[in-house]
Amino acid sequence: MKPAAVNWNYPTAVKVGVGRVRELPDWCKSLGMKRPLLVTDPGLAAMPMLTQARAACESAGLACGLFHDIKGNPTGTNVDTGVRAFRDGQHDGVIAFGGGSALDAAKAIALMAGQTRPLWDFEDVGDNYLRVDVAGMAPVVAVPTTAGTGSEVGRASVITDEAAHVKRIIFHARMLPSVVILDAELTTGLPAKLTAATGMDALSHNLEAYSSPFYHPMASGIALEGMRLIKDYLPRAVKDGTDLEARQQMLVASSMGATAFQRGLGAMHALAHPLGALYDAHHGMLNAILMPYVLRANETAISERIAALARYLDLPSASFEGFLDWVLALRDSIGIPHTLAEIGINAHEAQRIGEMAVADGSAGTNPIAFDAPAYARLFTSAVRGGL
């Protein structure tokens, strides 16, 4: 199937199709932007796709600034520095351009552009979102270049608090970008290893949303179809980075995962967040490695749902074990390590990781309410490879 140029409005305005990044200046103007700040990560800042997008904005009469001082796990300092750049340049909107780190940082910068309170006052705890001065928020156009986090359709940013060594979720409903451009051409240069890790991140979002005990039938259906797309297209995207159909469908599946996790996440993310904060490891890779261990730990609560998922995916065995076997085979075929030890993480901090995991917001929607020792054991299994 040739990737089509289509538009839809769920959960925001999404412009899908190869080459649609060329519409970026028009969508910025539609939101009243005259001086957008383009926020990206350092690896993209000098790449042709970025320089061309910025040049197109300039040619259309937009005074387009650039900010790229962002870590792979964006920090509060990165956001504060970006806000200073936004204010110093007298910008009036944000273009979030890049992977999940750039998009999360960009949305946080847009939130903070007109606030007087510090960033952590808007952590997703209780009714902190009511503290936001909505009039001070800047509009956002999001252009993802990886198919993983789905941050382009999210109402939150995950930002690392360096002082506390913790990832915090910053939330407000209006952090949702006003326009999203899903253009597969922007993802074709992503290396196979990152394509695999980000694709597994998209799978983790869909899978944890599907497995959540919360009632949200729409999210369940979206997650189900998102996983089918990943089954069909992730191996193709990893094998051939120029496969535009596979790349486009993975962008869609990524956005679907982030839409679906309105239903909640679970133990994969409850562990990945502290591990990312402590070890600065790639979020998608952490979820990819943790996935089978969390599935096994949740088995008693999700076996029937996973069997139904296996039937939908038309796996050889429509059972929990059949799905787990597929996950293990998929990881092996695209080069995902089997253990956390293989990416340099040991079990020395197991107790601390367990305590941080049970305190993470994602733990609240895991199918089983694990305590800190249970999370510590789960983490240790993922380090040592015990399934």
pLDDT single digits (tens) 355-386: 999 999 999 999 999 999 999 999 999 999 98
Distances (CA, A) of 80 to 3, 64, 106, 148: 39, 19, 11, 25
Domains and their CATH numbers in the chain: 13-187 (3.40.50.1970), 192-384 (1.20.1090.10)
pLDDT tens, position by position, 154-203: 999 999 999 999 999 999 999 999 999 999 999 998 999 999 999 999 99
371: tokens are 């305590």
Q: How many CB atoms lie within 10 A of CB 4?
A: 9
Name which of 379, 203, 204, 199 is nearest 293 in CA terms: 379
| Residue-level pLDDT at 8 | 75
Q: Cα 170 to the chain's mean position, in Å?
A: 14
Name which of 44, 45, 51, 56 is nearest 20 in CA terms: 56
Of the chain, the percentage scoring pLDDT greater than 70 comes to 99
pLDDT tens, position by position, 117-136: 999 999 999 999 999 999 99
Q: Is the pLDDT of residue 3 over 90?
A: no
DSSP β-ladder status, 65-67 and 156-161 = unpaired
| Residue-level pLDDT at 140 | 98
Per-position b or e across 303-330, b if 16+ CB within 10 A of its CB: eebbbebbeebebeebbbebbbbbbbeb
Four-point Cα dihedral 210, 311, 287, 191, nearest 10: -120
Q: Once rounded to an integer, what is the mean pLDDT over residues 244-251?
A: 97
Residue 5's pLDDT band, with cuts at 50, 70 and 90, is confident
The CA-CA-CA angle for residues 48, 50, 51, to 5°, reads 65
| Residue-level pLDDT at 265 | 97
Residue matched to tokens 């970026």: 24
Is the CB of residue 281 less than 8 Å from the CB of residue 313? Answer: no
Q: Name the least confident of 3-7, 44-48, 298-302.
A: 3-7
pLDDT tens, position by position, 304-354: 999 999 999 999 999 999 999 999 999 999 999 999 999 999 999 999 999
Neighbour-count burial of 231, counting CB atoms closer than 10 A to its CB (0-12 exposed, 13-18 middle, 19+ buried): middle
Four-point Cα dihedral 20, 23, 24, 26, nearest 10: -160
Is the CB of residue 3 less than 8 Å from the CB of residue 252? Answer: no
pLDDT mean across residues, the chain? 96
Q: Is the pLDDT of residue 146 over 60?
A: yes
Of the chain, the percentage scoring pLDDT greater than 90 comes to 96
Q: How many CB atoms lie within 10 A of CB 258?
A: 27
Neighbour-count burial of 191, counting CB atoms closer than 10 A to its CB (0-12 exposed, 13-18 middle, 19+ buried): exposed
Q: Once rounded to an integer, what is the mean pLDDT over residues 278-288?
A: 96
pTM as predicted: 0.95
Q: Once rounded to an integer, what is the mean pLDDT over residues 84-112?
A: 97
Phi, psi of 93 (to 5 degrees): -175, 170
Dihedral of alpha carbons 343, 190, 362, 109, sign: positive
15: β partners: 7, 181
